[in-house]
A and B are shown apart, each in its own frame.
Chain A
Amino acid sequence: KAGVTQTPRYLIKTRGQQVTLSCSPISGHRSVSWYQQTPGQGLQFLFEYFSETQRNKGNFPGRFSGRQFSNSRSEMNVSTLELGDSALYLCASSLAGQGWDGYTFGSGTRLTVV
């Protein structure tokens, strides 16, 4: 059974550019969440999607956006990149919409902004 797949694994972007990250959840999982991991702030919640609807959003500026497609695949976009956006971005999926079964995480996309 395939796990959560995130692409690309690594990205280097320049300040001011935009970036799109992709996440394919485990087959059958309809809930997809995104987290940002940095050494200074730790793991912070970005968004949660369920059946193509954003159900929850963390405390991030509007430059961070996302969406979910009908096949449950999700993308997140960051526009006008800043140096502080350098982080590991993790996607997680859950079978149960409530998350009680525990989320399965992907390996992440390491974004470096220079």
Chain B
Amino acid sequence: GDSVTQMEGPVTLSEEAFLTINCTYTATGYPSLFWYVQYPGEGLQLLLKATKADDKGSNKGFEATYRKETTSFHLEKGSVQVSDSAVYFCALLDYTGTASKLTFGTGTRLQVTL
């Protein structure tokens, strides 16, 4: 079945550092890919998405490119802020034509310090 693998956390960075969170997937076909972020005590917020190969999703300074050849969707940000501290989830959409569901990675906790 479909699966998503994320790098283990926590990732601890100083403010203004460069961020990369690795995400690779296994799926039949070409699923849509997403990054979600979860702040303490809250639900998931959609951060960005890409629906086909070579698409780049971007939002709030975060970017991720759908790489079909490496089955990857790594999240990057050039300069992180303390407010970016949260748990980040990579996910793929499994759509069969009659039903859909998201398959999530295990999440990567990011902690940004001053």
Binding site for B on A (CB under 8 A): 4, 6, 31, 33, 35, 42-43, 45, 48, 55-56, 58, 90, 92, 94, 97-100, 102-108
Contact = CB atoms under 8 A, between A and B. Distances in A.
A43 B89 contact: yes
B104 A58 contact: no
A90 B104 CA distance: 13
Interface residues of B, number: 24
Contacts of A4: 43
A48 B99 contact: yes
A94 B106 CA distance: 22
Contacts, number: 64
B101 A31 contact: no
Contact of A48 (B32, B46, B100, B105): B100
B45 interface: yes
Contacts of A103: 46, 102
Interface in B58-114: 89, 93, 95, 98-107
B101 A42 contact: no
A55 B94 CA distance: 13
Contacts of B102: 33, 35, 43, 45, 92, 99, 103
B86 to A, nearest CB: 14
B13 to A, nearest CB: 23
A42 B104 contact: yes
A56 B100 contact: yes
Given A99-B95, A99-B102, A90 B107 contact: no
